């Protein structure tokens, strides 16, 4: 699990004296005399005062590390991991964990902590794994009185390019198989799907290692579902599940992204790299501008779902906010062999965005654990044992807090930043995501609509892979036209005088009768589910004004043309209209006033999300789980 990209600023690492103080602080404090404890505590605070709180030119106090020659990435990460393992009670097992960590980072971990590249003009790779872009994130999970420690990392390449990092990550995957016994059988089934040569996105492949006392480490691989662009993510995940033997599972998982792909964004696809029937396939969804109720609904399909539990956790971790808009939340649904429903769904709250500092985070989590009958001692020990600074001196050391229930056991996970590059100042929002649907113009609204092409919906992509693709897609498109017809007439009436201009009439001209006639010549009897789309649209959009009506018309017409283009590609037909600039010209005519753009967004997104949900329902009916 990882946050989004933060700002790219960096600073030198922590000084040696602070490192030494932390080293002794983390080792069996009960055996340390009061004199030594006072000595080292005083040293830590003096070093902290030298290291931090340098005011910037705009008066904002930004916390930076004191300058030093700088350790290597692997040395710095090993020191932070050692502190976490000791705080988790690993004791003598700590050295073995650290040795494994060092081996995983070879050879690129020996570079300086803030390594750029060999080419000064090439820049540097910005890792999305942590809020300060360090390619390492630590976490600890607490369940049934036991603590496990995990490391998430991104293999680094010399050149700051996606192909170079893709190659480095694949090489690490092969080393996991060769040196650590990782099972890559499922990895290889989907490797070509997620790792094409011309892939897109901010990362190619991440890995994690899970450490438990008395057991060998376990490994996971994290793929990028957006390798072909954000609009293809859902269909890529659906195909991967189909290849892995989870046929019909998307019928359950699409419920976790019910608000449409622009708000519920598929972000990661992970595999346990073990040969075990309980090995998981995990699908991560980032929920923009979500409420506690939205996240409760996203988790409701899991076998371990307990009504009200997610809602209560989200409100508690979010400081009782109903809507978490400053930074997006996540859910992760885990599938195991023999089931098409998630065994469990984890909810992730970026608590650093909704608390002023790490002390407030610690107090909030502690109170939640006590209130729900869980022992807070392991969590408190982790936080205080890991911290290298006063908890109220910054925010973001505890970046995420996650919760899930599985087999009646609650599980809390805290994600811990190394703070290698910076400590985020108290009261800031690390890696803020902001408003996903904040558009500067009507054209920007249309660009988002085209990015999430209806033809990329998992149902459409799956039908297009079938033996009778053209026939199946024709039937689907006819039902879409039937579902749009009544509401479209209402939107034209609402547009009123706005639709009288010649350029507007040209842009909104879509002869549904002609399309229906063409489909009748090629398709059999109606399926009868177009009326369900009509009901969805009637409940989603008024519309309130002419601009909202025009936006709805543009969105519905675009959806029809996208499906017709897919039919043309599958069957060598010519049903789709030739692309013109008429729609873009109409969008450009929308005033840039906030209210006008809000109307444009409401009309277009309401129609798009309703069509996407309607297609989800068709997928469930056709390919969903039979159990």
pLDDT, tens digit (0-9, with 9 covering 90-100), for 312-325: 999 999 999 989 99
Q: Within a domain: residue 7? A: no
For position 48, what pLDDT does the model report?
A: 41
Q: Are 493 and 543 part of one and the same domain?
A: yes
| pLDDT higher than 80, residue 308 | yes
Work out the pLDDT band at 280, boundaries 50, 70, 90: very high
Q: Are 380 and 470 part of one and the same domain?
A: no
Considering only 267-271, 423-427, 551-555, which range has the smallest mean pLDDT? 551-555
For position 598, what pLDDT does the model report?
A: 92
Q: Compute the average pLDDT of residues 163-183.
A: 97
Q: Token pair of 4, please? A: 């989004």
Its domain, for residue 231, covers 16-416
Q: How far is CA 26 from the centre of its chain?
A: 33
Asked if residues 592 and 601 have their Cβ atoms less than 8 Å apart, the reply is no
Report the chain's mean pLDDT, rounded to a whole number: 85
Q: Which of 365, 400, 416 is the last residue of a domain?
A: 416
Q: Are 446 and 409 part of one and the same domain?
A: no
Helices (H), 393-544: 442-451, 458-464, 469-495, 502-508, 512-520, 530-540
- Name the DSSP letter for residue 145: T
Q: Within a domain: residue 6? A: no
| pLDDT higher than 60, residue 11 | no
Number of domains in the chain: 2
Q: Compute the average pLDDT of residues 322-350.
A: 95
Closest to 512 (Cα-Cα) out of 542, 492, 541: 492
Beta bridge partners of 416: 138, 398
Give the span between the Cα atoms of 126 and 474, in whole angstroms: 45
Q: Which of 382, 416, 450 is the last residue of a domain?
A: 416
Alpha-carbon torsion angle 244, 249, 255, 258, nearest 10? 50
Q: Within a domain: residue 425? A: no
Q: Are 249 and 199 part of one and the same domain?
A: yes
pLDDT, tens digit (0-9, with 9 covering 90-100), for 535-545: 999 998 888 88
For position 538, what pLDDT does the model report?
A: 92
Q: Within a domain: residue 44? A: yes
Q: Are 407 and 467 part of one and the same domain?
A: no
Asked if residues 169 and 127 have their Cβ atoms less than 8 Å apart, the reply is no
Q: Within a domain: residue 242? A: yes
Q: Within a domain: residue 428? A: no
Q: Are 392 and 446 part of one and the same domain?
A: no
Q: How far is CA 426 from the centre of its chain?
A: 25
Considering only 200-214, 484-498, 552-566, which range has the smallest mean pLDDT? 484-498
For position 36, what pLDDT does the model report?
A: 36
| pLDDT higher than 50, residue 578 | yes
- Name the DSSP letter for residue 557: H
Q: Within a domain: residue 310? A: yes
Work out the pLDDT band at 524, boundaries 50, 70, 90: low
Give the span between the Cα atoms of 281 and 345, in whole angstroms: 12
For position 585, what pLDDT does the model report?
A: 75
Q: Compute the average pLDDT of residues 6-35.
A: 38
Q: Which of 357, 382, 416 is the last residue of a domain?
A: 416
Asked if residues 136 and 77 have their Cβ atoms less than 8 Å apart, the reply is yes
For position 505, what pLDDT does the model report?
A: 63
| pLDDT higher than 90, residue 188 | yes
Rg of the chain over CA atoms, in angstroms?
26
For position 579, what pLDDT does the model report?
A: 60
Q: Compute the average pLDDT of residues 603-619.
A: 95
- Name the DSSP letter for residue 556: H
For position 26, what pLDDT does the model report?
A: 41
Give the span between the Cα atoms of 539 and 524, in whole angstroms: 30
| pLDDT higher than 80, residue 63 | no
For position 270, what pLDDT does the model report?
A: 98
Asked if residues 372 and 354 have their Cβ atoms less than 8 Å apart, the reply is no
Beta bridge partners of 290: 324
Work out the pLDDT band at 409, boundaries 50, 70, 90: confident
Beta bridge partners of 146: 143
Q: Which of 245-259, 417-431, 437-451, 579-593 tops mean pLDDT?
A: 417-431
CATH number at residue 482: 1.20.910
Q: Are 395 and 528 part of one and the same domain?
A: no
| pLDDT higher than 70, residue 37 | no
| pLDDT higher than 80, residue 120 | no
Q: Are 368 and 509 part of one and the same domain?
A: no
Give the span between the Cα atoms of 195 and 562, in whole angstroms: 26
Q: Are 412 and 450 part of one and the same domain?
A: no
Q: Are 100 and 199 part of one and the same domain?
A: yes
| pLDDT higher than 50, residue 45 | no
Q: Within a domain: residue 1? A: no
Q: Are 243 and 314 part of one and the same domain?
A: yes
For position 592, what pLDDT does the model report?
A: 82
| pLDDT higher than 70, residue 161 | yes
Closest to 168 (Cα-Cα) out of 195, 133, 201: 195
pTM of model > 0.95: no
Give the span between the Cα atoms of 325 and 311, in whole angstroms: 16
Pairing mode, strands 281-287 and 398-406: unpaired
What is the b/e burial string over 608-623, where b = at least 16 CB atoms within 10 angstroms of the residue's CB?
A: bbbbbbbbbbbbbeeb
Q: Are 452 and 344 part of one and the same domain?
A: no
| pLDDT higher than 50, residue 220 | yes
For position 443, what pLDDT does the model report?
A: 86
């Amino acid at each position: 699990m990882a946050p989004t990209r933060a700002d790219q600023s960096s600073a030198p690492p922590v000084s040696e004296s602070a490192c030494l103080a932390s080293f002794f602080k983390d080792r069996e404090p009960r055996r340390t005399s009061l004199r030594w404890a006072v000595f080292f505590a005083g040293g830590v605070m003096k070093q902290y005062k030298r290291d931090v709180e340098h005011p910037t030119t705009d008066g904002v106090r930004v916390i930076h590390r004191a300058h030093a020659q700088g350790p290597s990435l692997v040395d710095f990460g090993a020191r932070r991991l050692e502190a976490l393992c000791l705080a988790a009670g690993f004791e003598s097992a700590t050295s073995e964990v650290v040795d494994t960590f060092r081996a995983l980072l070879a050879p690129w971990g020996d570079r300086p902590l803030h390594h750029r590249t060999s080419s000064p003009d090439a820049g540097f790779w910005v890792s999305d794994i942590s809020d300060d872009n360090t390619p390492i994130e630590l976490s600890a999970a607490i369940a049934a009185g036991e603590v496990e420690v995990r490391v998430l990392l991104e293999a680094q390449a010399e050149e700051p390019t996606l192909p170079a990092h893709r190659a480095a990550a694949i090489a690490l995957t092969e080393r996991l198989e060769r040196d650590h016994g990782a099972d890559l059988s499922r990895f290889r089934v989907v490797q070509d799907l997620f790792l094409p040569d011309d892939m897109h996105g901010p990362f190619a492949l991440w890995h994690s290692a899970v450490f438990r006392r008395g057991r060998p480490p376990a490994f996971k691989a994290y793929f990028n579902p957006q390798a072909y662009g954000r609009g293809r993510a859902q269909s890529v995940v659906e195909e991967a599940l189909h290849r892995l033997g989870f046929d019909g599972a998307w019928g359950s998982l699409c419920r976790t992204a019910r608000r449409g792909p622009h708000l519920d964004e598929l972000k990661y696809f992970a595999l346990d790299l073990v040969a075990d029937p309980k090995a998981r396939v995990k699908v991560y969804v980032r929920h923009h501008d979500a409420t506690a109720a939205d996240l409760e609904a996203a988790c409701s399909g899991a076998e371990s779902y307990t009504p009200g539990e997610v809602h209560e956790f989200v409100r508690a971790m979010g400081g009782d906010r109903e809507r978490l808009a400053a930074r997006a939340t996540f859910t992760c649904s885990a599938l195991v062999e023999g089931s098409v429903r998630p065994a469990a769904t984890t909810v992730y709250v970026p608590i650093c965005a909704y608390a002023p500092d790490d002390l407030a985070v610690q107090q909030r989590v502690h109170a939640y654990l006590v209130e729900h009958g869980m022992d807070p001692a392991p969590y408190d020990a982790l936080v205080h044992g890991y911290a290298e600074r006063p908890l109220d001196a910054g925010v973001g050391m505890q970046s995420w807090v996650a919760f899930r229930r599985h087999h009646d056991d609650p599980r809390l996970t805290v994600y811990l930043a190394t703070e290698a590059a910076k400590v985020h100042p108290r009261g800031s929002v690390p890696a803020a995501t902001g408003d996903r649907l904040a558009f500067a113009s009507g054209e920007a609204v249309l660009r988002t609509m085209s990015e999430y092409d209806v033809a990329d919906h998992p149902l459409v992509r799956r039908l297009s892979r079938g033996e009778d693709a053209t026939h199946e897609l024709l039937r689907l498109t006819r039902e879409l036209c039937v579902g749009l017809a009544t509401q479209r007439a209402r939107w034209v009436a609402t547009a009123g005088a706005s639709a009288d201009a010649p350029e507007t009439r040209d842009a909104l001209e879509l002869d549904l009768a002609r399309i229906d006639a063409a489909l009748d010549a090629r398709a059999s009897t109606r399926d009868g589910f177009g009326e369900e789309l009509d009901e969805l649209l009637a409940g989603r959009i008024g519309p309130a004004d002419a601009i909202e009506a025009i936006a709805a018309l543009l969105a519905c017409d675009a959806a029809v043309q996208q499906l017709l283009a897919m039919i043309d590609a599958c069957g060598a037909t010519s049903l789709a209209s030739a692309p013109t600039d008429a729609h873009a010209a109409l969008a450009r005519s929308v005033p840039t006033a906030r209210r006008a753009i809000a109307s444009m967004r409401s009309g277009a997104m309401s129609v798009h999300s309703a069509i996407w949900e309607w297609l989800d329902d068709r997928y469930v009916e056709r390919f969903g789980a039979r159990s």
